[in-house]
Amino acid sequence: MHHNVYGQDVSITNITPSDTSICNGEQIKLELEITVDTAVDLRTQSLTIYMQGANTLSSRNLTLPNTAALNLTAAGSVTVTIPDDFTSEISSLTFSNIGSSTFTASLTVPSSLASDTNATNDFFQIRLDVLQTSTPTISTDVGDFIICKDENCNVYCWRRF
């Protein structure tokens, strides 16, 4: 069966983190949704990823797995998971630094495989925020704090005096 791949669009349509409340030192997974509007074989194509900000990941090319799911025989979408589907190329995504990072994934299909009609959706970015972990402590010494009622609402809070 021959599929005409001219005039097709291949895009990364979403990135979903396995956890949205990331703490420093935590490892997460990212699910990338790839959508096509006609049949195309994405097996062994190159996916470029990198991250900038508080946590960094240098630009690297990952090879999409050689699985049947990535040989799309009609329009649709498929999901790949970083690092699970790329364990030989990236072992983990660990977030060691508190703050915001921007993770970018880019998929450009070579013209010999398909004619990508919209290059503006070949990449997708997601902001990932690493939160500071808090370790609660109990102490009998309250120091220079008092408990007070907020003037504008019915909320009690700690205030330094």
In this predicted structure, what is the pLDDT of residue 3? 35
Residues 39-79 pLDDT 10s:
889 999 999 999 999 999 999 999 999 999 999 999 999 99
- Give helix then strand counts, H and E, for the chain: 0, 14
Rounded to whole angstroms, how far apart are CA atoms 115 and 77? 18
Helix (H) or strand (E) holding 102: strand 99-107
* C-alpha distances in Å from residue 34, one per residue of 90, 94, 109, 146, 149: 19, 23, 12, 54, 51
Residue of 108 and 94 predicted with greater confidence: 94
Residue of 9 and 155 predicted with greater confidence: 9
Using alpha carbons, select from 64, 65, 46, 60 the residue that is nearest to residue 110. Answer: 46
Position 5 pLDDT exceeds 60: no
Residue of 68 and 147 predicted with greater confidence: 68
Helix (H) or strand (E) holding 113: none
Q: What percent of the chain is modeled with pLDDT above 90? A: 43
* Mean predicted confidence (pLDDT) in 23-42: 90
Vertex 107: Cα angle to 15 and 41 (nearest 5): 105
Rounded to whole angstroms, how far apart are CA atoms 96 and 77? 32
Cβ contact 101:56 at 8 Å: yes
